[in-house]
Amino acid sequence: MRALQYAFDEALASLWRGRTSGLLSTATIAVALFVLGAFLVATSNLERLGAEWSRAAEMSVYIDDETTPEMRSAVEAMLAPGPLIVSFRFVTKLEALERFKQTFADLAAAAETVGDNPIPASYEVRLHTTPGSQDAVDELAARLRRSEGVVDVRYDRQWLDRLLAAVNVLQGVGLVLGAFLTVAAALTVANVVRLALYARRDEIDIMRLVGAPDAYIRGPFIMEGVLQGGMGAALALAALATVFLAIRGRYLMPLAAAVNLSSVRFLSLELCLVLLAGGMLVGCFGGLVASGGRDS
Amino acid sequence: MDSALSALRAILKALIETSKLSKLYSRGVHALRDLSLTIDKGEFLFLTGPSGAGKSTLLRLLLREELPSEGELKVAGRSLADLSYSQVQAYRRSVGFVFQDFRLIPRFTVFQNVSFVMRVLGVQAAVQQRKTFQVLKWVGLQHRMNSLPEELSGGEQQRIAIARALVNDPQLVLADEPTGNLDPDLSLEIMNLFREINASGTTVVVATHDRELIRRVGRRAITLDHGQIVEIV
C-alpha cells in the first residue's frame, strides 16, 4: 500500500514536472481512443437500428385497382401466417393516400390535383426474421409477382442485409485503425515515460544502490503511464460525448420520422469503462516498456 | 586443535573475504588481479593507490554493481555472485555508500535526501522522520534540513551524503574518494565522522589516494597497483 501511495505521489509530481511532453502522450491516447470510440458509437447504433428495422421488416404487395375478390383471396391464401409470414394487413387506397399526405405534407396539394387517387391498395406483410429465410422470401415474392392482380412486390430486406454487412466492414476498419493508433499511443507513452526516467536517473541509481524494491523503482513510471492513459481516455470520452450530442441534435433530429431517436445512444456505461480501462492499460504498457529491464 | 580454533575465530571475525578475485573488462583491462584479502567485522580499512589501481572496482564489486570475472568475493560468509536479484536488494540494504561527488538529489531538501532511502524501502513515515532527524543531528546539520543541496558547502554536502549512508543502520559503509573534492581541514572532519561510525561497530572501507590523510587517521591501509596488493600498512 505504501509502495502504491509512493508510486502515485511520484507519478503526479513527475506528470506536473513534465507536463508538456505528458500532454503529448495524453493527447495521443485521447485521439486513438476517440477514433476507436467513434467507430464503436457508429457501429453499435447502426447495428441496433438495423436490428430494429429487421424486426419490422415488411413486404408490400401492391394490387391493381381492378382486382376481383377472387384474385385477392388467392393472394391472401399465399400470405397466410406460417414459417415465413407473421401477419398481413390490407391497406385500402384511401388509407394509403392519407398516409402519403401525412408523410409528405408538401406534396399533399399535388396529390389532390391529380384527381383520382393514384396510390394503389396494398397488403403489408410482416415477415419472420429467421436467418437463412432469404431464399424462401425471394421465392414467395416471385410467386406473388406472377399472381393475377398483383402489380408490384417490394420488400426492404435486401438493403437491410447490405446495411448490416457494411456495419461489419465498418467495425473491422474501426478495430484495425483503433489498434494501430493504440500501438502508436503506447509507444508515445513509453517515450515520454523514458524521458521522465532519464530526468530522474540519479534518483533511480540511488534507489538501486540502497536496494529499493522494484515496486518503488518502476512503480512511479508505470503509474505515470496509467495516469496518462486514464486521462487520455477520459478526454476521449468527453470529446466523443460532445460530438455525439452535437451530431444527434443537428443531423438526426430532422430524421426523427425515419429513425427512432431513442435507439440512437451513446456508448453504454460498460463500454465507457472498458475504454477507460483500455486507456489505462495502454499507458501501463508504455510505462512497463519504458521502465523495463533489471539492472542489479 | 589450537589452529582449528583460530581458523574458526578468523572466519567468524571476517566480514569481507576475497579469494583470487579478478575483474577483467571487455577491452582486456585487468582492473583486479588475483586479489586475496580479509576485512574484519568492525574494521576501518583504507584502500589506496594511484588512479586505475582498482580501488573503485573493488568497491563496485562490494556493492554488487558488478560481478567478478574470476575468484570469489564473500560478505558475511555469502558469495555475492550467488545472490539472486531479491537477495542483492536485501544485501544492499545492509550497505551504506558515499561517493566523491556526493550524489545528492538537487530537487530534494537535505531532510528529503536523507529520508529518501527509508521512504523507498517502505519505512513508516514517523520512523523516517525520527531517524532522519537523529542522523542529521549526529552530522551536525539538523539546522540545514530545509535547505537544498546547492545551498550547502562541499563539506556540508558530504556530511549529508554520510547521513544518508547511515540512516538505514548499515553493517558496512563504503566510501569512494569521499574527500576528493574537499580541502584538508574538511577532509579530516569527514574522516572523523567515519571514525565515529566505525567506533559504533560498523565496518568502514574508504578508498582514497590521499596518503597524508591515511597517515593522520592511522588505520590499516592496503595499497593497490594495477589491480594487485603491493603494500599493507
Task: Say if residue A201 is in the same domain as residue A93.
Answer: no
Strands (E), chain B: 14-24, 30-40, 44-48, 70-75, 78-79, 95-99, 172-176, 203-207, 220-225, 228-232
CB A226 within 8 A of CB A287: yes
DSSP string, chain A: -HHHHHHHHHHHHHHHHTHHHHHHHHHHHHHHHHHHHHHHHHHHHHHHHHHHHHHT-EEEEEE-TT--HHHHHHHHHHT-SSSSEEEEEEE-HHHHHHHHHHHTGGGHHHHHHT-S--SPEEEEEEE---TT-HHHHHHHHHHHHHSTTEEEEEESHHHHHHHHHHHHHHHHHHHHHHHHHHHHHHHHHHHHHHHHHHHTHHHHHHHHHTT--HHHHTHHHHHHHHHHHHHHHHHHHHHHHHHHHHHIIIIIGGGTTTS-GGG-----HHHHHHHHHHHHHHHHHHHHHHT-S---
Domain annotation covers residue A296: no
- pLDDT value, residue B203: 93
Contact (CB<8Å) A2/B122 = yes
Q: What is the pLDDT of residues A185-227, one digit of tens each?
A: 788 878 877 887 787 888 888 888 888 888 888 888 889 889 9
**Contacts A210 to B, Cβ<8 Å:** 92-93, 117, 120-121, 168
Contact (CB<8Å) A211/B93 = yes
Min Cα separation B94/chain A (Å): 8
Range of the domain at A151: 58-155
Task: Say if residue A15 is in the same domain as residue A44.
Answer: yes
CATH class of B42-66+82-232: alpha beta
Q: What percent of chain A has pLDDT over 90?
A: 6
- For the cut 60, the answer to whether the pLDDT of residue A294 exceeds it is no
Last residue of one domain, picked from the residues A123, A155, A187: A155
Q: How many domains does chain A have?
A: 2
Q: For chain A, what is the mean pLDDT? A: 82
Task: Say if residue A21 is in the same domain as residue A101.
Answer: no
- pLDDT value, residue A257: 60
* CA-based nearest residue in chain A for residue B66: A296
Specify the 3-state DSSP secondary structure of B214.
Answer: helix
Q: Measure the CA–CA gap between A278 and A33, rounded to whole angstroms.
A: 9
Give the CA distances from residue B114 to residues A126, B111, B187, in Å, rounded to whole numbers and listed in that order: 80, 5, 21
Contact (CB<8Å) A213/B122 = yes
Does residue A95 belong to the interface with chain B, where contact is any CB pair within 8 Å?
no
- pLDDT value, residue B59: 92
Q: Measure the CA–CA gap between A179 and A171, rounded to whole angstroms.
A: 12
Contact (CB<8Å) B121/A206 = no
Last residue of one domain, picked from the residues A117, A138, A155: A155
Of A3, A202, A211, the CB nearest to B89: A211
Does residue A204 belong to the interface with chain B, where contact is any CB pair within 8 Å?
no
* CA-based nearest residue in chain B for residue A7: B120
Contact (CB<8Å) B85/A294 = yes
Contact (CB<8Å) B120/A205 = no
Task: Say if residue A233 is in the same domain as residue A281.
Answer: yes
Task: Say if residue A189 is in the same domain as residue A137.
Answer: no
Last residue of one domain, picked from the residues A155, A172, A192: A155
Task: Say if residue A165 is in the same domain as residue A25.
Answer: yes
- For the cut 90, the answer to whether the pLDDT of residue A66 exceeds it is no
**What residue ranges of chain B have pLDDT lower than 50?**
none
Task: Say if residue A141 is in the same domain as residue A207.
Answer: no
Min Cα separation B91/chain A (Å): 7
What ipTM does this complex have?
0.81
- Residue A179 CB-half CA count within 13 A: 6
Q: What is the pLDDT of residues B161-179, one digit of tens each?
A: 989 998 988 999 999 988 8
Contact (CB<8Å) A211/B105 = no
Q: What band does A46 get if pLDDT is binned at 50, 70 and 90? A: confident
Domain annotation covers residue A139: yes
- pLDDT value, residue B14: 84
**Phi, psi at residue B14, to the nearest 5°?**
-75, 135
- pLDDT value, residue B64: 92
Q: What band does A296 get if pLDDT is binned at 50, 70 and 90? A: very low
Q: Identify the residue among A14, A206, A208 best suited for mutation to test binding to B, counting B beta carbons within 10 A and taking the highest.
A: A206
Task: Say if residue A95 is in the same domain as residue A186.
Answer: no
The closest alpha carbon to B130, from B169, B172, B91, B104, belongs to B169
